[in-house]
Structure 1
Amino acid sequence: MTQSTSSPEAPTESDYGTHPGAAANRVFRWLSTGAGALILITLAAVATFLLAEAWPAIAMGSEELGETVSFIKPDQGQSLMEIIGYLIFGTLVISVIALLIATPVAIGIALFISHYAPRRLAQGLGYMIDLLAAVPSVVYGLWGVAVLVPFMQPFYQFLADYLGFIPIFAPPESGEIFTGRVAMSAGIVLAIMILPIITAVSREVFLQTPTLHEEAALAMGATRWEMIKMAVFPFGRSGMIGATMLGLGRALGETMAVLMIISPGLTFSAAVLQPNQHNTIAAYIALQFPEANSMGVNSLIAMGLALFVITLLVNMLARWIVSRRKDFSGAN
């Protein structure tokens, strides 16, 4: 003789309206929806402000703009668009240098913390890396000027003497002083500044690698490094790319450290060891803003609009790359 047990009926959709927590659920839903919409509204407001304030300088001719803005000199070929082109080039050069230096170091640190270091050492090292993100950029700038630049000058001289035939390592022209306050020094400082971001994101991605994947690779006779190549890297590829893009976005907008280190210039030169060749958009705005008049402020806002667009494109690219491999993410 069998005894059947009746299971409680699942509440229908109409029952949720009279549930005791229904009002709280509705309030929370509207609050979360409003918070998400607030981000989009803020982003649209910033873009609208930048475009509205920059348009007077963009629409004005270079000669007329040069009569009212001191740093716009049409007679020397420095129109607003040309200056923005120089600054975009310098921003990308310095940011790419920082990215090339920081990415392999950050991924190596993340692998050491997640797969090699003992737990206590990994926790302490992780905290120390995270603390680098809390150091103000002006401190990095002071350290770069007082410590890094004098330390790197002999190395720059060595590169210029033996690799000067390569345009990137071309020495300063005759008569110029080898100061060391060049794009390479700014890139090294930016690499240290973006190191915590890339390390933290990569570390969390590596820790999400399924344990069964790692154990399967080890069971097949793979060494730890082979296991990382077969299981960890394929799983975390999109996360590493996303972390790198986040670091690039951080480097693009850095101001004080670059302003304090680099000897600014406006050229399309690829020589990263020559002074007075490069500058970034953020550093140029900070340098010119205190003495800018009304139209000069509009011109600087136009440069800020260019930086806003570049940063937005970098983040959109990162999101697209990550979304391509969402089926392989740790959340699934």
Structure 2
Amino acid sequence: MNPLYETVRIGRHTLRNRLVMAPMTRSRADDTTGVPSALAAQYYAQRANAGLIVTEGVFPSPMGKGYVRTPGIHSAAQIDGWKRIADAVHAQGGLIFLQLMHTGRISHPSMLPDGATPVAPSAIAADGQVFTATGPQDFVVPRALATAEIAGIVDDYRRATRHALEAGFDGVELHAASGYLPEQFLSSGTNQRTDSYGGSLENRSRFIMEVLAAMIDEAGSDRIGIKIAPEMGFNSVIDAAPQETFQYLVQRLGALKLAYLHLARTRSAFDYRALLRPLFDGPLLHGGGLDHDSGAALVAERKADAAVFGSAYLANPDLPQRFAAGAPLNAPQRDTFYSDGPKGYIDYPVMEQAR
């Protein structure tokens, strides 16, 4: 049997196959309210054949927003919008986790309440530009969070987890990759604090561990996952000793009995999967540039428990059926990844339509 089509236990859930749809920003939400688009229910339901869907990154509070037309889950209207999506996926027999993404310094005052300055562990600007409603803008120097403020952000994650469950999600993933706030705390290049959240590995990992503890309090550890991507380099996050940093973090994660560890493959030549898998006593989801053969090999060789697919799932709502039939895949339309409306979102053909 093809290993991708075997069931697997992830926390309290049994996945009907080992294909996971990766979290992917699609920028279709209402930019003012943060309510997900009415089209999003159709988009996710089309792909409910995955063993598990992880949603696009969702900001837990207004200060967590970092991109135009991205959704939140802090208001009643947002919760209602996500409930329609979770219900649509469940109606197709699917499972769906919501990913919480606080972007920290990767934002701009034009996207934040009252033109606020983005927050971060330290007042260090990211390199490059952020795309705003008026076009690209240079990243600004963020405001370093006071120690007393951090507990409030942890509570934002707690409430967002509660809201996700109210909306009917099967679980919640913490986005601790891509240079966003959790990884900003973790990494020595973005965290130059001298309080209990900076300096040592224990201190730099404290924010992630406190956030996970709050999320677990709301949902139980078997409905919480975490995504990491060592040495991705995205959003100019750097660490002086990444192998040591992530080894320490994953060792601490192992005691939490999380539903899964989602490890994204990066440009690093170092094999983080081989380093980290023995340290985490739980399911490993692994992705990044996979095709059918490489994904099946990962699972068959027990290098991962499930394979995560991004743009292939974006462009092929019937990806499991195409893989099973050995059928050609639709090519992703990259110019519509972050555009508004249905084009390149809900109009990718399934095999029968393609024929």
TM-score range, shorter chain: under 0.3
What's the TM-score once normalised by structure 1's chain length? 0.26
User: Of Structure 1 and Structure 2, which has the larger fraction of its residues in helix?
Assistant: 1
What's the TM-score once normalised by structure 2's chain length? 0.25
**Higher normalized contact order (CA 8 Å, seq sep 6+, divided by chain length):** 1
Rg bigger for which structure?
A: 1
User: Of Structure 1 and Structure 2, which has the larger fraction of its residues in strand?
Assistant: 2
